[in-house]
């Protein structure tokens, strides 16, 4: 895997497709097909960045690759990063040094499948998930209950259980609840929990991945 | 046509059997015809709590396997008219009974009796499903501690999956002194999480253990706080509008203070 032509990595701003330098377009496409076809559940409807160092890929080649990803895999290419050959590749760089401001702009353009609306409380032992987008819950999520979404999670009640947003690695996903006193929060691969004995604060809160690669929670005023 | 009500909790030891015995007795005392069914096959003890242990001849298993008629398996209570017990088999296991068989028994009993109360076993497995199979309504019994509330929440979810819509809560063993000190979860906290209607609160009452051991349900013991609470719940079950009294503190001085503040 480490020496393969393309790699998929999750960063704070979402998924990155990293292309090995000095490989021809046909080889890149074959490698992309191999990588994406082997994924279960399939990666679809999400946005990705393409990272490439100096390579023989021309801008026409890039266009073709983008079209290929969009048409065959329903992926949206939200940016192309051209990296200097001498610069450390983002794979080697520790994620913490990979500085990305909370980037909402890119997501505004991203249609994210359909949101799932749940019209009841998620009780202990119950799970609800939406792997094609966001979830909105008209009720509470009680301790022992679990919500998983590939997009955002919005709870119009009290979140007391577990919530996992950005389940496919979209780190710009957020969790919003009228009262946020969860057992555990997860965004992408980051997990956090509130301090023991946390009391409801009485106002809506939002959880997101902050600059230090930790999930931060703050009062939700506006997006 | 009567009502079949399952009394359940998820967690064990929160007072399902005590509540079934007392509510059944209380309903019969206010003139309703009642059957209480022990659904805890293999670990029966509703007969013990009712003091009817020595009178059980046939069990629900005998009815299901057609060794006796349903009417014949009902044990008449010693003290109250129109109160009957259908005991569970002690020799069998919970998966020896199927939900359809319990449903059939419940359907037949509710044709004749006003109330059929089912004492559910703890847990969420076959025993619970048997107990809930014939139920029109459910009463959740919980104590004010996190593990009992967590299990109650789980059970409510399962009951809703079984399309039992009418689910009410009995909050058992609430101690006003401890709530006041902040050492116990309060009524409002419990209702906040479970989000179902409160049917009643039963205070912590040392008489419960004594009455259980004697085989005389607490409601026969006039004047004890637990007995009064169960009588009020029974009256609410037959549709009377009886307010749930705010719990008073055991402390004499704070009672007086409360009395003054009420009269301001």
Which residue would you say has higher pLDDT here, A41 or A136? Answer: A136
Looking at residue A222, its pLDDT comes to: 77
- A-B CB pairs within 8 A amount to 27
- pLDDT, tens digit, 9 for 90 and up, residues B66-121: 999 999 999 999 999 999 999 999 999 999 999 999 999 999 999 999 999 999 99
Mean pLDDT of all residues in A124-152: 94
Which residue would you say has higher pLDDT here, A187 or B176? Answer: A187
Looking at residue A55, its pLDDT comes to: 61
Are B154 and A123 within 8 A, CB to CB? yes
Residue A139 has pLDDT above 90, yes or no: yes
Q: Name the residue of chain A whose CA is nearest to B157's CA.
A: A123
Enumerate residues 6+ apart whose C-beta is below 8 A from A210.
Answer: A102, A216
List the single best residue of B153, B163, B189, B194 to mutate versus A (max A Cβ within 10 A): B153
Looking at residue A1, its pLDDT comes to: 44
Average pLDDT, chain B: 92
Are A126 and B157 within 8 A, CB to CB? yes
Are B153 and A143 within 8 A, CB to CB? yes
Enumerate residues 6+ apart whose C-beta is below 8 A from A79.
Answer: A49, A50, A106
Looking at residue B157, its pLDDT comes to: 96
The pTM of this model reads 0.71
Are B154 and A125 within 8 A, CB to CB? yes
Enumerate residues 6+ apart whose C-beta is below 8 A from B176.
Answer: B203, B247, B248, B249, B250
User: Which residues of chain A are within 8 Å of residue B125 when distances are taken between CB atoms?
Assistant: none
Share of chain B above pLDDT 90, in %: 86
Q: Name the residue of chain B whose CA is nearest to A140's CA.
A: B193
Q: How far apart are CA B43 and CA A74, in angstroms?
A: 57
What's the distance, CA B240 to chain centroid? Answer: 18
pLDDT band at B176 (very low <50, low <70, confident <90, very high): confident
User: Which residues of chain B are within 8 Å of residue A158 when distances are taken between CB atoms?
Assistant: 192
B191/A contact by beta carbon, under 8 A: no
Mean pLDDT of all residues in A32-54: 74
List the single residue in A123, A158, A160 with the smallest CB-CB distance to B157.
Answer: A123
Q: How far apart are CA A161 and CA A171, in angstroms?
A: 20
- pLDDT, tens digit, 9 for 90 and up, residues B28-52: 999 999 999 999 999 999 999 999 9
Q: How far is CA B232 from CA A101, B18, B206, in A?
A: 61, 15, 19
Residue A96 has pLDDT above 50, yes or no: no
pLDDT band at B261 (very low <50, low <70, confident <90, very high): low
- pLDDT, tens digit, 9 for 90 and up, residues A62-83: 778 888 888 877 777 777 776 6
Looking at residue B227, its pLDDT comes to: 96
Looking at residue A108, its pLDDT comes to: 41
Q: How far apart are CA A48 and CA A149, in angstroms?
A: 17
Which residue would you say has higher pLDDT here, B25 or A85? Answer: B25
Mean pLDDT of all residues in B163-176: 94
Q: Name the residue of chain A whose CA is nearest to B156's CA.
A: A123
Which residue would you say has higher pLDDT here, B155 or A106? Answer: B155
Which residue would you say has higher pLDDT here, A95 or B87? Answer: B87
Mean pLDDT of all residues in B191-213: 94
Average pLDDT, chain A: 79
B193/A contact by beta carbon, under 8 A: yes
Looking at residue A197, its pLDDT comes to: 81
Output phi, psi for A196, to 5 deg: -60, 140
Pairing of strands A135-137, A116-118: parallel
- pLDDT, tens digit, 9 for 90 and up, residues A170-205: 999 999 999 999 999 999 999 998 888 888 899 999
List the single residue in A120, A126, A144 with the smallest CB-CB distance to B150.
Answer: A144
Residue A111 has pLDDT above 60, yes or no: no
Looking at residue A83, its pLDDT comes to: 64
List the single residue in B157, B160, B195 with the smallest CB-CB distance to A124.
Answer: B157
Which residue would you say has higher pLDDT here, B128 or A87? Answer: B128
Share of chain B above pLDDT 70, in %: 93
pLDDT band at A101 (very low <50, low <70, confident <90, very high): very low
């Amino acid at each position: 895997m480490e020496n393969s032509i393309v790699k998929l990595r999750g960063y704070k701003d979402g998924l990155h497709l990293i292309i090995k330098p000095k490989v021809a377009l046909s080889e890149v496409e074959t490698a992309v097909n191999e990588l994406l076809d082997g994924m279960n559940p399939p990666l679809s409807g999400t946005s990705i960045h393409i990272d490439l160092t100096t390579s023989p890929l021309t801008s026409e080649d890039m266009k073709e690759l983008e079209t290929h990803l969009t048409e065959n895999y329903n992926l949206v290419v939200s940016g192309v990063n051209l990296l200097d050959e001498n610069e450390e590749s983002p794979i080697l760089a520790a994620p913490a040094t990979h500085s990305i401001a909370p980037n909402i702009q890119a997501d505004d353009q991203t249609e994210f499948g359909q949101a799932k609306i749940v019209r009841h409380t998620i009780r202990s032992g119950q799970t609800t998930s939406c792997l094609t987008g966001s979830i909105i819950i008209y009720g509470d999520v009680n301790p022992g209950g679990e919500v998983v979404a590939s997009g955002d999670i919005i709870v119009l009640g009290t979140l007391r259980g577990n919530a996992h947003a950005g389940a496919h690695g979209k780190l710009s996903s957020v969790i919003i609840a009228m009262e946020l006193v969860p057992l555990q929060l997860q965004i992408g691969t980051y997990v956090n929990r509130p301090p023991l004995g946390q009391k409801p604060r009485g106002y809506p809160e939002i959880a997101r991945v902050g600059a230090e690669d930790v999930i931060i929670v703050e009062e939700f005023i506006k997006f | 046509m009567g009502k079949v009500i399952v009394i359940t909790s998820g967690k064990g030891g929160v007072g399902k059997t005590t509540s079934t015995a007392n509510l059944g007795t209380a309903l019969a005392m206010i003139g309703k015809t009642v059957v209480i069914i022990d659904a805890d096959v293999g670990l029966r003890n509703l007969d013990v709590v009712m003091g009817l242990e020595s009178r059980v001849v046939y069990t629900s298993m005998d009815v299901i396997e057609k060794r006796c008629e349903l009417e014949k398996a009902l044990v008449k209570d010693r003290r109250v008219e129109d109160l009957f017990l259908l005991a569970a088999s002690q020799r069998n296991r919970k998966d020896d009974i199927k939900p359809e068989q319990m449903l059939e028994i419940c359907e037949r009993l509710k044709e004749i009796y006003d109330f059929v109360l089912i004492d559910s076993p703890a847990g969420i497995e076959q025993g619970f499903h048997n107990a809930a199979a014939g139920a029109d309504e459910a009463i959740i019994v919980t104590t004010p501690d996190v593990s009992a509330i967590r299990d109650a929440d789980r059970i409510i979810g399962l009951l809703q999956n079984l399309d039992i819509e009418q689910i009410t809560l009995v909050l058992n063993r609430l101690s006003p002194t401890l709530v006041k000190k902040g050492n116990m979860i309060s009524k409002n906290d419990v209702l906040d999480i479970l989000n179902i209607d409160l049917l009643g609160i039963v205070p912590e009452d040392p008489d419960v253990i004594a009455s259980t051991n004697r085989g005389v349900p607490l409601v026969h013991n006039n004047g004890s706080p637990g007995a009064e609470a169960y009588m009020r719940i029974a009256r609410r079950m037959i549709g009377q509008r009886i307010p749930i009294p705010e719990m008073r503190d055991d402390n004499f001085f704070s009672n007086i203070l409360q009395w003054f503040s009420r009269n301001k």
